[in-house]
Structure 1
Amino acid sequence: MKLEVFEIRFDNPRGVYAAGEQVKGNVILRLRNPMKVRKVFLYFEGRAKCHWEVKHGRSKTDYRATETYINETFDLFDAGASGADHPAGEHSYPFCLLMGASLPSSFEGRRGYVRYFCKASINRPWKFDEHTKRAFTVIHPLDLNVVPTAGMPVWGEQDESVEGCCCSVGNVQARLTLNKTGFVPGEPITYTVDIFNKCDSTIERVELDLKQLVTYTGYSNSIFSSGHPKHHTKVDNFSLLNHTNRIKRNTEEHIHRAVAVPPLPPSNLEGCGIIDISYFVELKVNVRWTSITIEREIIIGTIPMHFAGVPQAPVIPGSPASNAAPSAPPLEPPPYSEPPPSYEESVFGRVEIRDENDDEHTSGQMGWAPSYPVYHYDAATQHFQILPSLPVNTPSTAPPAYNQI
């Protein structure tokens, strides 16, 4: 085999970039012997896709939508149509792509994605082409300091009558309080849950969940379609509290805790017109056949609020946030004087990124997950602290089922 090494290496080892930054690196090609080659080129693509289907008896209707953000090709070696012998040995071809500042954050969901990748190819005369592929993460900054409601506390209360066989047996009052509205991954959501059981029944369970609601937009392939967009939602829950201690009749319970936000994409997915992300905290109290539910929306950002005593992060040069203060930390900066985030893989785990354009001659990292900024918070000092990034570990089990598009 003449081809010994063919891979893409980013200057940023984790492959995480802010929208508006340059993606730099090298395509490494090592040949044992000279190889007849027409061209070596590198293709960049950034796109969003949605797809789901609705069944009607034996028939079904497909809904799809696509947006393209990056579509660039760079020639690294060009010997013309007839080709020429590429020298043996190891060769490094540098590349640099300047991304737009309005690109949406990377996201992998159950009915669609926002995905960025590059694919290097060796075009050979009268031979199969060789390819290598690598995905990278783009972060569109969401600075909580410019969101007016981010520092406002969240409050909700509900009073529900509990019915017995033929009459009321009392009422249950539930109250939910959050310390604020805006959070970043790694930061604790501090909550208080107050339950006043003023009925003759025992409350068996109290649950508090962080909910991610993703809304996909698509268009029908049916000839009878009106042409109007359709929407499809998927919800994933992350438990913040599962309180199984019995709350006896005519008693009350007060729970005050804090749980860190897992690595998640930012709210809204700004820059994407076919996928939207919202987050909610939902309190659920079940008593008899009555359920009390309090749901309030929160915001997940990429840049934390800078309260007094909390360090302010440096600016990403060239990013849209560079015109505002405070702004985002650079992703691979020189040594920090103030705590930066680390970058950790999405809580949803890795997915298969091989698509319809990849074949058995395509190598690279096909099991992949976007990485999001995660801030490490010290509850004792109420400051963000410097901790090293967690290593990127390959899951020991297969990733969750994914609707490949």
Structure 2
Amino acid sequence: MERVQVLFENGQNTFYCGQYVNGHVSLQLDVPTRLRAITLRVSGTAECKWEEWIHKRSPQKQLRRASLQQNQHPPHEMKVFKSNELYFEYKIALLPASPNDPLLEAGEHKYPFHFNLPHNIPSSFEGHFGYVRYMACCKVDKPCARDHESKTLFTIICPLDLNRFPHLSIQADASDVKKFWGLFRRSKPTTVILRLPESGIVPGQLINPNIDIENNSDVRINQVKLSLVMNSVFTAMGVKKMDKKVILESHLGAVEPKQSRTWFRGIFIQVPAVPPSGLSNCTLIDVSYKLKLVAEPERPHLNINVSLPLTVGTIPFQSHFGSFNAANNGIIPPVGWNNPEPSAPSDSMPEPPESTDASYYSSMPPPSYEESVASGEYLEIHASQAFSPRYPVYSSLPLPPEFIQDNIPVTIKE
């Protein structure tokens, strides 16, 4: 009996694209064993797959009309939509094959390996209808016996620097005005406004939205909900499929008729570990986020919805560097961070904007790396194979007391 493990020098199995990776394969043998070869295969792939019932087109229209006249449902068939992408594949011979199969003594045997990750690969992602996955598979080839395989999944992060998109640091707002129908007349307008100081964020950052609701109507707003929503779009065989997931949701309370409420410093939403927006370098999966505000009036009136798009990055705005704590996690930071390790090649780092100097990232605190809260279980994954990628999460400093205030309802004068 033998045990095979693929172990990376990086204990959390998390790397940046373009980074130099090293580790070793540990082979534990209980008895002396002859081996033919040991091979390590490292690959990065993406896959989208789902099934849908579609109308089955009959070549004979008369038969189709006849079936409809007999009140029968038109024929259907199950169609599978599936597409794949291969980003890279390395094969490393840890124990090259030889004419005479070597005899290995009982005990632990270590086989070191190293490789460079490509620069143009997407971040890891696990969704309900697809994934971007990076795997190291070690195969132990034994003569006259069944081969043994060990698979290890690891996380890749493609940096998304918010400083490259200055427009995301500008205040954004959205609003809607609705008049509810009453008995033979329409009520006075109800106005909902959502503002954000900026639309670019990083995991761990606190979002402080500004919400104004002016309810001039006679209809009570039963509940005001604020949520962070992730939209994933999967593409297979030219067909797109969307999956929406609510990451966070906060209930803010009610707004009585003829009253207005303002939430300014009383609410904060902290973004958890989620994949970066866009999923750069992947053509099969796209990820986007939005902050959604819903005002739910009394029935039968329809909800008032406003939303603002958000961009989730991996490197925060320079103006926020001082608002985060440093996290010591042992993961090699990308280029541009303070004290880069020699094992991280200098060309694997994102370059700073042209308007800055070489010390642009010198004060940026390293993040921690936490498992994604947005990973969906892929259709063909068994429970024992479930994997959650790790994403950078910045530790926000505690807020001063003056930033935490309760809002007070204000009655609107006629």
Query: What TM-score do the two structures reach when normalised by structure 1?
Result: 0.82
Unaligned runs of 5+ in 2: 55-74, 325-335, 402-414
Cα distance change of structure 1 residues 338 and 308 upon mapping to structure 2, 3 Å threshold: closer
- Secondary structure of the corresponding residue to residue 296 of structure 1: strand
Instruction: Indicate yes or no: 2:368 matched with 1:339.
Output: no
What's the counterpart of residue 278 of structure 2? 268
Following superposition, the deviation at residue 86 of structure 1 comes to 2.4
What's the counterpart of residue 150 of structure 1? 168
Distance 1:327 1:114 in 2: 34
Q: Encode CA deviations 1:253-273: one digit per residue, 9 max, x unaligned.
A: 112311110100000000101
Distance 2:289 2:357 in 1: 23
What's the counterpart of residue 223 of structure 1? none
What's the counterpart of residue 248 of structure 2? 239
Cα distance change of structure 1 residues 138 and 150 upon mapping to structure 2, 3 Å threshold: same
What's the counterpart of residue 49 of structure 2? 51
Instruction: Indicate yes or no: 2:286 matched with 1:292.
Output: no
What's the counterpart of residue 408 of structure 2? none
Instruction: Indicate yes or no: 2:12 matched with 1:14.
Output: yes
Following superposition, the deviation at residue 192 of structure 1 comes to 1.3
Q: Encode CA deviations 1:31-62: one digit per residue, 9 max, x unaligned.
A: 23221111011111110000112212541222
Following superposition, the deviation at residue 322 of structure 1 comes to 3.9
Q: Encode CA deviations 1:147-186: one digit per residue, 9 max, x unaligned.
A: 1222111111111111113211222100001121100000
Q: In the alignment, which of 74, 77, 80 is matched to residue 98 of structure 2?
A: 80
What's the counterpart of residue 66 of structure 1? 84
Distance 2:109 2:232 in 1: 44
Following superposition, the deviation at residue 318 of structure 1 comes to 3.4
Following superposition, the deviation at residue 82 of structure 1 comes to 5.6
Instruction: Indicate yes or no: 2:147 matched with 1:129.
Output: yes
Alpha-carbon contact 1:352-1:366 (below 8 Å) kept:
no
Instruction: Indicate yes or no: 2:179 matched with 1:174.
Output: no
Distance 2:244 2:365 in 1: 33
Instruction: Indicate yes or no: 2:319 matched with 1:307.
Output: yes
Cα distance change of structure 1 residues 297 and 190 upon mapping to structure 2, 3 Å threshold: same
Aligned ranges for residues 3-402 of structure 1 at < 5 Å? 3=2, 5-56=3-54, 58-80=76-98, 83-219=101-237, 229-243=238-252, 245-256=253-264, 257-288=267-298, 289-307=301-319, 310=322, 313-314=337-338, 317-325=345-353, 339-348=365-374, 366-380=385-399
Which amino acid in 2 is paired with 1:72? Y
Cα distance change of structure 1 residues 78 and 308 upon mapping to structure 2, 3 Å threshold: closer
| Larger radius of gyration between Structure 1 and Structure 2 | 2
- Secondary structure of the corresponding residue to residue 166 of structure 1: coil
Following superposition, the deviation at residue 240 of structure 1 comes to 3.9
Following superposition, the deviation at residue 11 of structure 1 comes to 0.3
What's the counterpart of residue 332 of structure 2? none
- Secondary structure of the corresponding residue to residue 307 of structure 1: helix
Cα distance change of structure 1 residues 379 and 298 upon mapping to structure 2, 3 Å threshold: same
Following superposition, the deviation at residue 140 of structure 1 comes to 0.1
Q: Encode CA deviations 1:266-309: one digit per residue, 9 max, x unaligned.
A: 00000101101111111111224122111211100000111176
Which amino acid in 2 is paired with 1:348? A
More strand by share: 1
Alpha-carbon contact 1:11-1:24 (below 8 Å) kept:
yes
Cα distance change of structure 1 residues 122 and 355 upon mapping to structure 2, 3 Å threshold: farther
Q: Encode CA deviations 1:193-226: one digit per residue, 9 max, x unaligned.
A: 111010011110111111111111111xxxxxxx
Following superposition, the deviation at residue 313 of structure 1 comes to 3.8
More helix by share: 2
Which amino acid in 2 is paired with 1:36? R
Distance 2:357 2:280 in 1: 17
Aligned residues: 356
Which amino acid in 1 is paired with 2:307? E
Q: Which consecutive aligned stretches of 4+ in structure 1 deviate over 4 angstroms post-superposition?
A: 325-329, 349-356
- Secondary structure of the corresponding residue to residue 204 of structure 1: strand
Which amino acid in 2 is paired with 1:376? S
Which amino acid in 2 is paired with 1:378? L
Alpha-carbon contact 2:126-2:375 (below 8 Å) kept:
no
Query: What TM-score do the two structures reach when normalised by structure 2?
Result: 0.80
Which amino acid in 2 is paired with 1:371? R
Alpha-carbon contact 1:353-1:368 (below 8 Å) kept:
no
